[in-house]
Amino acid sequence: MKKLLLLAFMVLFSCQESKKETKSSHSNLELQSDSLQNVPQEPYYVDIKRNDLKLEKPVYGEWRFFNKEKGQSFNQFIKTKHVVPTKEENIIYLKPIGKFNALQLKQIELVRQYLQIFFQLETAILPGVSNDIIPNNARRKGSMEQEQFLAGYILREVLKKEKPKKGVALMAVTEKDLYPKPEWSYVFGLASYKDKIAVSSMYRMQKEADFNLCLERLLKICSHEIGHMFGLHHCVEAHCVMNGTNSMSETDNHSIRLCSLCQRKLNSGFKYDNLKRLKELEKYFKENNLTEGLQLMERDLKSIQ
C-alpha cells in the first residue's frame, strides 16, 4: 500500500510532508536544480523578508513542541524531487463529495478562486458526487453519533480513479467527518502526496465558526496541503501558512501568508509574476472581508514599492 500521510497528530489536526522523495517529479527538475541553486535572490524576496515574523519558542501542545523539524532550505528544496506544473499538467481540481448547503457551496467556490490566485494555476471544480458513493463498510458512527467516512477509502476507491484532464493536484472536499482507521477518533483530512490526491473535511472547521472563520480555515488548510504536493516542507523559519499544526486553535493562530522563503521555493518552478499574485490576493481578501490576509498583502505591497 502506498504511503498515506495523515493530516492529524493523534486526534488533532496536522499535515506531515513526505520524508521520501516521490517519483512523480518531472524529468527537467535535475536541470533546474543545477541552474537555480546559486542564483541570487530577486529583490522581491529580499524586500518582503522584512515582513516575515520570527516564530516564538513552542509551548506544550503545539506542533513544534513535539516535532523537531530541521526545515528545508532553498537549495534543499531545489535538489528534492517534487511536482512541477507543466503544459500537460497544470490544473488543480477540487471534487465535492456529499450534500452541501448553499453556504458550503459558496465556500468551496471561494476556495477554488483562492487556490487559483495562490498558486497562479487554473483551478476547477469537478462534478460532485453524493455520499452514496461511500459503502457501509467505509462508514461508522463517531463519539457524538455523527456519521464518519473512512478517509483512505475516498483516496483509494474514489480519487485514484479520477483522471481529470491536465490535472496536477486533486483534492476532495466532504461535509462529513473523517476517520483514518478504527482506533482513531477522527482526522481533518488524509493525503497521498505520491498520488497527488487528498481529502479534507469541512465538518469540524465549521464548529463554533462564522462563515469567514470557516472560510479562512479552509483557505489555510487547502493551500498548506497542496503546497506539500508541490514540495514545500513544514516551515520553521517564520510565521507561515506552511507551519505545522496540532489543532484547529493552532491553525487559527497561524498566518495565511507564505513567508519569503516558501514563496521563493514555489515560484522557482511556477515562474509566476509575484506582483500580480500579491495584487490579486489583496483584492481577494478585501472582497471577502478577510482582514488579516488583507493587511499582510498590503504590507508586502508597500515593501516592494
CA-CA distance, 290 to 14, in Å (whole number)? 23
Residues 16/192, Cβ–Cβ less than 8 Å: no
pLDDT category, 38, cuts 50, 70, 90? low
Here the cell at position 217 is 480555515
Q: Checking DSSP bridges between strand 122-125 and strand 91-97, what pairing results, if any?
A: parallel
Mean pLDDT for the stretch of residues 136-165? 95
State how many domains the chain has: 1
Q: Is residue 59 part of a domain?
A: yes
Q: Which domain holds residue 44?
A: 7-304
What nine digits make up the cell of 82?
517534487
Asked if residues 154 and 187 have their Cβ atoms less than 8 Å apart, the reply is no
The grid coordinates listed for 224 are: 498548506
Does residue 1 sit within a domain? no
Residue 115 lies in a domain: yes
- In a domain, residue 289? The reply is yes
Q: Which three cell numbers stand for residue 28?
A: 527537467
Instruction: State how far the Cα of 29 lies from the Cα of 34, in Å rounded to an integer.
Output: 9
Q: Give pLDDT, residue 40.
A: 67
Rounded CA separation 114/110 (Å) = 6
207 vs 160: which has the higher pLDDT: 160
The radius of gyration computed from the CA coordinates of the chain, to the nearest angstrom, equals: 19
Residue 5 pLDDT more than 60? Answer: no
Find the CATH number of the domain harbouring 96: 3.40.390.10
In the predicted model, is pLDDT for residue 124 greater than 60? yes
Give 38 or 73, the one with higher predicted confidence: 73
pLDDT digits (tens, 9 = 90+) for 224-238: 989 999 999 999 999
Residue 189 has a pLDDT of 84
Mean pLDDT over the full length of the chain: 88
Q: Report d(CA 180, CA 177) in Å as an integer.
A: 11
> Lowest-confidence range among 72-76, 188-192, 250-254, 257-261?
188-192
Residue 272 inside a domain? The answer is: yes
89 is catalytic: no
Q: Which position has the higher pLDDT, 191 or 8?
A: 191
Q: Which three cell numbers stand for residue 282?
A: 489583496
Catalytic residue among 17, 62, 216, 225: 225
Q: What pLDDT sits at residue 39?
A: 58
Q: Which residues pair with 167 in a beta bridge?
A: 91
pLDDT confidence band for 122 (50 / 70 / 90): very high
In a domain, 279, yes or no: yes
Determine, yes or no, domain membership for 2: no
Does residue 164 fall inside a structural domain?
yes
Query: What is the C-alpha to C-alpha distance for residues 26 and 43, in angstroms, rounded to an integer?
Result: 28
Q: pLDDT value at position 187?
A: 86
